[in-house]
Structure 1
Amino acid sequence: MSSPTLAILAPGLLGGSVAQAAHARGAAGRIVVWARRPEVRLALAHQPWCSAVTESAEAAVAGADLVVVAAPVDRIIPLVQQVAPHLGAGAIVTDVGSVKGEIARQGHAALGDGAHFVGSHPMAGSEKTGWEHGSAELFQHRTCFVTPLPESNPAAVAKVVAFWRDLGGEPVTVPPDQHDEIVAHISHLPQIVASSLCAMLAGKTPAWRNYAGGGLRDTTRIAGSDPQLWRTILEQNREEVLRALRDYQDELHGLQIALANRDYHEVVARLERGRAYRSQFRPAP
């Protein structure tokens, strides 16, 4: 897709980063942004990576070749349905939500035959929120899931893949439900573990937090994320997250039993298995 008109709806950290990356890398000829709150629209109007800021989502998508919906996961489909009648023929709509199954199916249904919905999820982010924390380099060497349905338009899928590659990402194409299973284990479960560990420690002596070293800080960094944002993600991916939690509970229970039985060979075996998995992570971007 050469120098398309790009519209970004409801930019937070990811949407703001999409705009900045597209501007910095020449992935869009024109970048039009809409935000729900007037004060955010006013602030965005002064950013060099915004060509225009509109008063309505409908106005933002008029004439757009590619639309990125960057709203929280529970607001993506309502926004897609809202702007659907205002999309030009052949326009492509994608999103950045971390749950894909229902979003992919409902997004496709909302657009009918005139435009094309192809779900996306860049594996990039931060415990911080808001477009002001965005970065043009956020997607550099980051996995970007693209989640077409069997009936998705192949040319539209190819253009979404190319767009994320143009932003520096590393696109991976998987079915939406497979995506939800994957991220339940590698993204949603770690958030629950970090948050629940801090919640448990919050019931202990308050002074303990002052003695913590890097291990606790590194393990629980993402516990600083927005709870309401994560509430919607966990609600949307409830079944897969419950399955991931059961897998993790089984692992914890096995370690607990080994320790209770003084089976230190088994304790070490489990720790070694964890170390081996961690050592095979690819280098951080």
Structure 2
Amino acid sequence: MFDEIAILAPGLLGASVARAARHYGAAQRTTLWARRPEVRLQLQGQAWCDRVADTPAAAVQSAQLVIICAPVDQIVPLVQQIAPALPPGALVTDVGSVKGEISRLSHVALAPRHAFVGSHPMAGSEKTGWEHGRADLFKGRTTFVTPLPETDPAAAARVAAFWTALESDVATVEPDAHDEIVAHISHLPQVLASTLCASLAKREVRWRNHAGGGLRDTTRIAGSDPKLWKTILAQNRDEVLRAVRAYQEELHGLERALANRDWFEVQAILERGRAYRDQFRPIP
């Protein structure tokens, strides 16, 4: 699809994009740039990497598509930094889990010479680092593509086609709608897992040695990078607050039912939860 793509700041997602692009033939050449010199050295010679650049500008100078995989607070500065170095017609996307402000500021930085089309693959994990990248990470997983109303439809279509070529299921929504959705289905679960572990940490420390599958499954993502999630929650603060407050109402409803020995309502809440969980799409 593309003669050359550039991936900036590859961690788990960026390395997986590079591997998948090579595996599925979505790009003929891939150039990488990493902030740390030792990581750039490690990336040289990887079979799924054709070139490692020393600067972001050098990485994008001949790329038709640039994928920025940095933490959400670093995406816009990188867009602004590479804007003068982009070749004519180049597209820029990202993999950040917040889209509203990033999309608007990046559009301003690039328009009218280039197009920014936000992306967010729902394929991360608690693991970080390019070493954990996999060519099949996006297979059967949703990737949000988030054009603004003023975005060139052809540019949005090309970015969507790229993710489709990696066997991802593309969902196209506006940036603010995306932020509302992921506040509930991604950011809220992280908050719940982390605060549950933070609460249990105040109890007898030896209790954790008796944890079964329920606690381990429920809190798996509590092992994610706190600094990374702090920036995500800061970027999507308003939507996350609304999601937390809506959840608190549900939790208070269960609390009232327990206090009143309203076992019919307790069961009704549990059944609603099971019915929702049973309708999840199977993971490939």
Distance in 2 (alpha carbons) for counterparts of 1:165 and 1:243? 32
**Structure 2 counterpart SS, 1:4:** strand
For 1:18, give the aligned amino acid: V
Offset, 1:4: 2.6
Distance in 1 (alpha carbons) for counterparts of 2:54 and 2:235? 29
In structure 1, the partner of 2:7 is: 8
1:99 aligns with 2:107: no
Give the superposed CA RMSD. Answer: 0.6
The answer for unaligned runs of 5 or more in structure 1 is none
**Structure 1 counterpart SS, 2:143:** strand
Distance in 2 (alpha carbons) for counterparts of 1:229 and 1:120? 18
In structure 2, the partner of 1:260 is: 259
In structure 2, the partner of 1:152 is: 151
Deviations 1:249-268 (A, max 9, x none): 00000000010000111000
Deviations 1:43-75 (A, max 9, x none): 001211111001000000001100000000000
Distance in 2 (alpha carbons) for counterparts of 1:17 and 1:109? 28
In structure 2, the partner of 1:175 is: 174
Give the conservation status (yes or no) of the 8 Å contact 1:31–1:50: yes
Distance in 2 (alpha carbons) for counterparts of 1:265 and 1:150? 47
1:238 aligns with 2:237: yes
**Structure 1 counterpart SS, 2:2:** coil
Structure 1 runs (4+) greater than 3 angstroms displaced: none
Give the conservation status (yes or no) of the 8 Å contact 2:2–2:64: no
For 2:17, give the aligned amino acid: V
Deviations 1:95-130 (A, max 9, x none): 000000001101111002111100000000110101
In structure 2, the partner of 1:51 is: 50
Offset, 1:139: 0.3
1:277 aligns with 2:238: no
For 2:277, give the aligned amino acid: R
**Structure 2 counterpart SS, 1:85:** helix
**Structure 2 counterpart SS, 1:29:** strand
- When the two structures are aligned, how many residues end up with a matched partner? 284
In structure 1, the partner of 2:111 is: 112
Offset, 1:3: 3.5
For 1:114, give the aligned amino acid: R
Give the conservation status (yes or no) of the 8 Å contact 2:2–2:65: no
Percent of pairs identical after alignment? 68
In structure 2, the partner of 1:207 is: 206
Give the conservation status (yes or no) of the 8 Å contact 1:88–1:114: no
For 1:28, give the aligned amino acid: A
Give the conservation status (yes or no) of the 8 Å contact 1:23–1:49: yes
In structure 2, the partner of 1:63 is: 62
Distance in 1 (alpha carbons) for counterparts of 2:58 and 2:213? 48
**Structure 1 counterpart SS, 2:6:** strand
Distance in 1 (alpha carbons) for counterparts of 2:101 and 2:84? 21
Give the conservation status (yes or no) of the 8 Å contact 1:4–1:66: no
The answer for unaligned runs of 5 or more in structure 2 is none
In structure 2, the partner of 1:32 is: 31
In structure 1, the partner of 2:18 is: 19
Give the conservation status (yes or no) of the 8 Å contact 2:76–2:106: yes
Distance in 2 (alpha carbons) for counterparts of 1:26 and 1:7? 15
Distance in 2 (alpha carbons) for counterparts of 1:44 and 1:227? 25
TM-score normalised by the chain length of structure 2: 0.99
**Structure 1 counterpart SS, 2:30:** strand
